[in-house]
A and B are shown apart, each in its own frame.
Chain A
Amino acid sequence: MDLRVKLSGLDLKNPVMTASGTFGYGLEFAPYGDLRTLGGIVVKGLSLKPREGNPMPRVAETPSGMLNAIGLQNCGVEAFLKRRLPSLPWRETPIVANLYACDPDEFGELASILAAEEGVAALEVNISCPNVKAGGVLFGQDPALAASVTEAVKKRAGNKPVMVKLSPNVADIAAMAKAVESAGADILSLINTLTGMSVDVRTRKPRLANVVGGLSGPAIKPVALRCVWQASRAVKIPVVGMGGIASALDVLEFILVGAHAVQVGTANFIRPDFSFRLVEELPALMQRMGVTDLDELRGSLKTG
């Protein structure tokens, strides 16, 4: 069974990556499985300086999903590189740094710091976070802005592949995909969370202090599949699909609609060994389906 995936210079031993914001800096999950078995680890979004994030409450459970408004709390790029990255098994498993900034110049600066690190295999550009006031999803809703951020990162990323994470909160996901591809993105990843809210009728208050947050989990899988299908048909660069993946079957659904690899997000909260189990379960499922190579499935959705 060949599970290897090549993503524009980012080589994975299998298609199962973990999604930024749902896997901490990786080490939090080390007691629950062997990090080296994962296809890749995308770490918590990093900014130039540490961020405290949004006020509490910042999470709410919803039917088959959850809302979060963490607001990109993170330790900052310097602390990540000094204190976290050296402990990660970066020689065995690609570590992808997810980066967030408030303007294209700052994105470029972050990119150049991260690209200089041997342990960072690729950069994932977060232009789609719905929970921060400055930048955030605004970058991901305007093709010109998205392109300018992509260019700024690409220019400073050296030979590290640049993956751009797209928001589903747009009218035309294919147009966004094309815009960042034209700006030099090597890989697309999608989808980030859908903007949503939850209300407590008894208190007449929103359940999140930020009022709105990002919806994730199995509830959003149909939207994610649609977006990946539309985006992957619009571009030539590889696409990493995510959004509600909670089984090996889900992985194959994303591959069928055109994804080269996947990222597992909220399911890591359903049980902390989820991604590790998924890596183990995938070959058996493929075998049952008579598939030996993911290329046989990729983009082979029958729509006619």
Chain B
Amino acid sequence: MPLNRCHDVKVIALNPHGPEGLEHGLWLLELENPGFPDVRPGQFAMLRPPSWGFDPLWARPLSICRALPDRWVFNFLVAGRGTSALTRLKPGDTVTVWGPLGNGFAVEPGTRTLMLAGGIGLAPFVEYTAAHPAPGQLSLLFGHRPPLSCYPYEDLARLVPCESFQDKTPEDIPRFVALVEKHMSEHAGGLALACGPTPFLRTVQAAAKKFGVRCQISLENRMVCGVGACLGCVAADKDGHNVQTCTKGPVFWSGDITL
């Protein structure tokens, strides 16, 4: 068992993502690579600056957007006290990092693979696309509310066919649901991967069942330890048993989990 998978690393850069990132609370954080090998796209890391003292108390789980030789990149949304506190980091500040955690998305180079992202759920697909051995098999459908420039969408659009949909009003939601269904119906026999808010995942889960698409979904869940010990982030599996999102997931086959 490898030891020391918890490291203190320095912040390289922290910036709002794009010209409107600050307004919409979307940020790009670059940390020194903690030196952990074998990041699988879809995995996450727990981040906690020691400067927090005891408040906030918990680390925050962030999906690994890019794992580069010299740095790990995280694209995150300010959702509460912890992520808000993360935006106050400065280059050179220390962050305690443990990871990579969780199981990551399936990689099937010979299979057409549809990536479905909702909002900040786009982040893991940046690494997924960059690391995929056959990117020609990939395509992306991206639903979002803040402007496209708040996300690393262009990084993906340069590499794979992408379609985006900006949901501005509640009336737009049924149109996006229809778009998800259209993509899924065209994807029978393929693989679909989804990451985003729970209502979005429910839509994807239902569409996957309806059109018989093999589908994985990555759950967002409040986590405390990230290592499977605290049992604070459980989700119900298809048999009604509580399973840890952090270690049994965050990626589940869509038919194996109840949302």
Chain A interface residue count: which class? 35 or more
Query: Is there an interface contact between A24 and B56, defined as CB atoms closer than 8 Å?
Result: no
Pick the contact of A61 from B1, B56, B225 — CB < 8 Å? B56
Query: Is there an interface contact between A269 and B6, defined as CB atoms closer than 8 Å?
Result: no
A216 and chain B: residue at smallest CB distance: B57
Distance A246 CA – B55 CA, assembled complex (angstroms): 13
Query: Is there an interface contact between A273 and B57, defined as CB atoms closer than 8 Å?
Result: no
Interface membership of A28, Cβ < 8 A: yes
Known: A52-B242, A68-B232. A270 touches B4 (CB 8 A): no
How far is the CB of A27 from the nearest CB of chain B, in Å? 9
How far is the CB of B99 from the nearest CB of chain A, in Å? 10
Interface membership of B227, Cβ < 8 A: yes
A32 and chain B: residue at smallest CB distance: B6
Distance A272 CA – B230 CA, assembled complex (angstroms): 11
Q: Which of B6, B48, B229, B233 has the most CB of A within 10 A?
A: B229
Majority SS at the chain A contact face: loop
Instruction: Give a binary string over B230-248; 1 marks a CB under 8 Å from any A CB, 0 the rest.
Output: 1111110000111000010
Instruction: Give a binary string over A234-278; 1 marks a CB under 8 Å from any B CB, 0 the rest.
Output: 000000000000100000000000000000001011111100000
Distance A57 CA – B81 CA, assembled complex (angstroms): 18
Distance A21 CA – B240 CA, assembled complex (angstroms): 22
Contacts of A270 in B (CB 8 A): 48, 54, 57-59
B221 and chain A: residue at smallest CB distance: A56
Contacts of A66 in B (CB 8 A): 57-58, 224
Majority SS at the chain B contact face: loop
Instruction: Give a binary string over B210-230; 1 marks a CB under 8 Å from any A CB, 0 the rest.
Output: 000000000000101111111
Interface membership of A158, Cβ < 8 A: no
Distance A73 CA – B241 CA, assembled complex (angstroms): 10
Contacts of A33 in B (CB 8 A): 3-4
Instruction: Give a binary string over A25-38; 1 marks a CB under 8 Å from any B CB, 0 the rest.
Output: 00011111110000
Within 8 A of A (CB), among B47-106: 48, 54-59, 81-82, 96, 98
Q: Name the 7 nearest CB pairs between A and B, nearest first.
A: A24-B229, A59-B232, A64-B54, A28-B229, A273-B6, A218-B54, A31-B5
* 30 examples of A-B residue contacts, CB within 8 angstroms: A22-B229, A24-B227, A28-B247, A31-B1, A31-B3, A32-B3, A32-B5, A32-B6, A33-B4, A44-B229, A52-B240, A52-B241, A52-B242, A57-B222, A58-B234, A59-B222, A59-B233, A64-B57, A68-B232, A70-B230, A73-B231, A73-B242, A217-B57, A218-B54, A268-B225, A268-B229, A269-B225, A270-B57, A271-B96, A272-B227
A residues near B (Cβ < 8 Å) are: 21-24, 28-34, 44, 52-53, 56-59, 61-66, 68, 70, 73, 217-219, 246, 266, 268-273
